[in-house]
Amino acid sequence: MRSFAGDLAGLVRRLDHLERLGVDAVWLSPVHPSPNVDWGYDVADYLDVHPDFGTLADYDALVAEAARRNIDVWLDLVPNHTSDRHAWFTDRPEYYVWSADVPNDWRSVFTGGSAWTWDARRKRYYLHQFAPQQPDLDWWNDDVRAEFDAILRFWFDRGVRGLRIDVAHGLVKDRELRDGVEHMRNRPEVHEIYRRWQEIAAAYDPKPTLMGETYVLSLPELYPYWQHLDLAQNFPFVRAGFELGQLRPIVEQTMAHLPPDRRAVWFASNHDHSRLATRWAGGDEAKIRAALFLLLTLPGVAILYQGDELGLEDGRVPPGRVVDLADPPRDPERTPLPWTRSGAEWRDPWLPLEDTSRNVEDQEADPGSILHYTRDLIRARRGLDDRSYETLPSPDGVWAYARGARACVLNLTSKPQVYDGERLAPWEGRLV
């Protein structure tokens, strides 16, 4: 939100853009009070809004305004860990994972060092998969489960229609704290939590959607999450290169394993990964359009990260302006969205806004722009059968797939190709 519109009131003012784009929902990265060691992913209070973003009343106003435009609001729930400034870390130490000594070889994602840090107050080590300021909760503790039941109800009562669940694969740790990363994440006991959350969600109409940040690197590890999550984010897809040989097998296998009551979910940029316009397309406009064509014509749910609709590339962030704790920092994919060429709408943004050549104002005025292309694709996808995927025979470098009665054809090469008598320009996607 910091880079899209600054705060909740700013987001309300930008809803026109989202409505014209034709999205069904907007997922906000964490909005809660936070010391921002990890920019909101270190939550100090799950039941309030960070003053930088506004108040609960501003949040209610957003939900109401978005609903008038048929846009659902989704929140980012961070249940794996809290901030060390959360009152629980002082008042309810039993909510966290402790050990008298360093019990295993688990490593912190951010420091690369041990995931255990000594707490002088408690005279014990506590676990943190991420920064030391992000202590992991103990999901074997029933009181922790009950706290989150109440947090879910609080937000569902306030109109949240979906949750993106942070570190959805990592909540439950091996009870015996055995060595090996496979005992720190992706444990089978985690699914029970989502079964329970579905029961809570089922009391609401429409039932809020549960989408997991299921950060597993192989597809077979992903499939179990479809038991109880409505949507399981596909990281093998986002991490693949923009090549037919890498992407098509991922799509084929995902669709072949997808249960009939689940939908696939595709994305190619987010606040942790270089934007698709840079990582997949190297800034090349034709390739950016090809990436958007693929994302928006695959069956299921497509997530656009802010700026994807403009073909926005990663921003340049000089070392003196870096604010992220990760190495390498994730600031380049988090730079502000250029709404105008002058950039005057951003006064003193948290990250630099340097390149405004791809901006909303100019692309709005140009029917040939990437923004219009994205909108046209979103409109077109509404006419496609949502469930089916079938690879069609095609020449090398061309990806053809049936979506019900329609076919999608995408030239993933820098040379012209011919498919079924039709000439495709380099990187051209076409619905036939």
* Contact residues for ligand NOJ, defined by CB under 6 A: 38, 41, 78, 130, 166-167, 213, 271-272
Residues in the chain: 432
Closer CB to ligand NOJ, 41 or 399, in the complex: 41
Closer CB to ligand NOJ, 36 or 359, in the complex: 36
Contact 332, 354 (CB under 8 A): no
Distance CA 248, CA 270 (A): 21
Distance CA 341, CA 111 (A): 38
Closer CB to ligand NOJ, 109 or 353, in the complex: 109
Closer CB to ligand NOJ, 107 or 257, in the complex: 107
Q: Which amino acid is at 387?
A: R
Closer CB to ligand NOJ, 228 or 334, in the complex: 334
**Other beta carbons within 10 Å of 368:** 8
Distance CA 317, CA 243 (A): 28
Closer CB to ligand NOJ, 38 or 314, in the complex: 38
Closer CB to ligand NOJ, 42 or 309, in the complex: 42
130's CB contacts (< 8 A; 6+ apart) are 38, 41, 81, 108, 109, 110
Query: What's the min distance (Å) between Cβ of 110 and ligand NOJ?
Result: 8
Closer CB to ligand NOJ, 41 or 106, in the complex: 41
Closer CB to ligand NOJ, 221 or 284, in the complex: 221
Query: What's the min distance (Å) between Cβ of 28 and ligand NOJ?
Result: 12
Closer CB to ligand NOJ, 266 or 293, in the complex: 266
Query: What's the min distance (Å) between Cβ of 261 and ligand NOJ?
Result: 27
Query: What's the min distance (Å) between Cβ of 134 and ligand NOJ?
Result: 7
Distance CA 180, CA 129 (A): 13
Query: What's the min distance (Å) between Cβ of 418 and ligand NOJ?
Result: 42
Which residue, judged by CB position, is nearest to ligand NOJ in the bound state? 41
Query: What's the min distance (Å) between Cβ of 96 and ligand NOJ?
Result: 15
Query: What's the min distance (Å) between Cβ of 193 and ligand NOJ?
Result: 17
Closer CB to ligand NOJ, 72 or 166, in the complex: 166
- Give the burial string for 382-412 (b: 16+ CB within 10 Å, else e): eebeeeebeeeebeebbbbbebeeebbbbbb
- Give the burial string for 156-170 (b: 16+ CB within 10 Å, else e): beebbbbbbbbbbbb
What's CA 183's distance to the chain center, in Å?
24
Structure tokens, 105: 């070889």
Q: Alpha-carbon dihedral of residues 77, 81, 85, 91, nearest 10 degrees?
A: 110
Query: What's the min distance (Å) between Cβ of 167 and ligand NOJ?
Result: 5
Parallel, antiparallel, or unpaired: how do β-strands 162-165 and 72-77 relate? Answer: parallel
Q: Which amino acid is at 137?
A: L
Residue the block writes with tokens 């061309």: 398
What's CA 57's distance to the chain center, in Å?
25
Query: What's the min distance (Å) between Cβ of 251 and ligand NOJ?
Result: 23
Query: What's the min distance (Å) between Cβ of 291 and ligand NOJ?
Result: 21
DSSP-derived secondary structure letter, 114 = B
Q: Is 31 exposed, middle or buried (0-12, 13-18, 19+ CB in 10 A)?
A: buried
Strand partners, 135: none
Query: What's the min distance (Å) between Cβ of 340 and ligand NOJ?
Result: 28
420's CB contacts (< 8 A; 6+ apart) are 409, 432
